[in-house]
Amino acid sequence: MLRRGARNGVKQKVHIPTESYEITHSAPELLTETEQLENELFGDIEQQFANKAPSQPSGEALFVIDRGEKRPVWSDEEECDREISLGDKNIAKKLRTGDSNKISGKQLEEKLRSQFKKIHGTPNWTTRDKSSQSSILASTGHMTQPTKSLPVKKLSVTRCKNLNSRKGAKCVVKSLEFHPGASIGFVAGYSKSLDLFEVDGENNKHLHRHHFTNFPIDCAKFTADGNEVILGSKRPHFYSFDLHKCTATKMAGIRNRPDVHYKNFVLSKDSEYLGFQGQEGLFSVFSAKDKQLIKCITHRSRINCSSFLTDNVILTAGHGGFCSLWDMRTWREISDFQDDGALHVTSVGHSTRHIAVGSDSGVVNIYNKDDIFKSRCKPLRAVMNLTTEIDRTEFNSTGELLAISSKELKHSLRLINLHSLQCMPNWPTANTPLAHVSAVNFSPSSGYLGIGTTKGKALLYRLTHYPSY
């Protein structure tokens, strides 16, 4: 083997008793870029060769490998010392310190890193060692659950860039929803357009827009598999939008049935069924696959809201405060109850443990899910923080957070902690720019909260208690 420190450029060969290796390098020659890359990639192999060679009595070592802390491959000193002005753009105001509008490049880097950690937190995989590589794969999915329970008195909320900041409209946002399996969200409403965005909290890149002629969108939902979006309106038909083909298919309504409306609908959890609310208590169940009518059931009064509690049980509610439970296997009413103190039920939502029933008076009653099968059930708590008609009752994926809202008054949104059955006291505040809320939705793992407004904005907030999308 040849020593790199050979004198006068003469190649000196070192003989190893059992095996021989020959690496030829001339001391005066500079290593080319390719050779430097090979040394970095195959440094371990050279170390093996060095271990097999006899020790050198004096002189330079064959190979020197730095096993210390990793350092940046490249650093621009001029960029670090360069002064950067923060007064050019309003978005940089939060990075300013004191009255000065100029900071160095290194200070800007530190502030941006701090701001990123504040919004997104530190990923778990950055603090794990190599022995836990198998658990990293399990923690990078968007269905990761938090290890700690939800705080009772303080919820950490950070505002992100509006979801539709790149393709906004001044029309009412009626639907805002997150994709069940990818970091994608849509915004739809009276602009007659369905806009898809990439959800990252920073850029929220606009992916696609599809315009529906003469079709103001009142309701839109992702299917459970995330392959399509169902859209409803006051028109006598509805649409199915295929996300893979980016095409919309018009689904004709039922002929000679003007009492069947397609404005408001609900999807079953497995996306097998699609339920539309019609006139005079009519509830029409369609197959979500072929969009054909299966059965029509009639509620005792006008239906204002509905929900698929399980794959076989439907909850319908409306005027008079009456709530009915239907068995889809027999299409018969199996139980009913009257919402406590409600004149009209205007919104219902459910989790694995609770049912939330909102009324026109602004009261939201929270029931135990098992108690609603009794004719006389009492709510666990009546939430009276809002005073106008409840439009939205939305649970997060863990069932420990409930969002309620009303579009009648500004800033009418509250978050309920289901552990304590109390409103979160620290958010939203009087300075939170909610305006009139028209849509609310949590991302699949509750990492984001989306809020649609009547001014056409799709507000996006990061709930940092939840580690992922």
User: What pLDDT, in 10s, does the model give residues 155-180?
Assistant: 999 999 999 998 878 899 999 999 99
User: Cα separation of 450 and 188, whole Å?
Assistant: 13
Burial class of 310 by CB neighbour count within 10 A (0 to 12, 13 to 18, 19+): middle
Three-state SS sequence of 144-195: CCCCCCCCCCCCCEEECCCCCCCCCCCCCEEEEEECCCCCEEEEEECCCEEE
The per-residue pLDDT for 324 is 95
Cβ count within 10 A of residue 195: 24
Confidence of residue 30 (pLDDT cuts 50, 70, 90): low
The per-residue pLDDT for 222 is 96
pLDDT at 124 over 90: no
CA dihedral 28, 32, 33, 38 (to 10 degrees): -90
Confidence of residue 468 (pLDDT cuts 50, 70, 90): confident
pLDDT at 251 over 90: yes
The per-residue pLDDT for 140 is 34
Q: What is the mean pLDDT of the chain?
A: 81
pLDDT at 106 over 90: no
Question: How do the domains of the chain map onto residue ranges?
Answer: 1-66, 157-463
Given the structure tokens 């505002």, which residue do they identify? 159
Fold designation for 157-463: Methylamine Dehydrogenase; Chain H (2.130.10)
Q: How far is CA 52 from CA 23, 46, 147, in A?
A: 14, 10, 50
The per-residue pLDDT for 109 is 80
The per-residue pLDDT for 326 is 95
pLDDT digits (tens, 9 = 90+) for 220-236: 999 999 999 999 999 99
The per-residue pLDDT for 103 is 76
Averaged pLDDT for residues 124-146:
42
User: Cα separation of 319 and 277, whole Å?
Assistant: 13
Confidence of residue 67 (pLDDT cuts 50, 70, 90): very low
pLDDT digits (tens, 9 = 90+) for 427-464: 999 899 999 999 999 999 999 999 999 999 999 999 99
User: Cα separation of 192 and 80, whole Å?
Assistant: 48
pLDDT at 80 over 60: yes
The per-residue pLDDT for 95 is 67
The per-residue pLDDT for 255 is 79
- Higher pLDDT: 168 or 51? It is 168
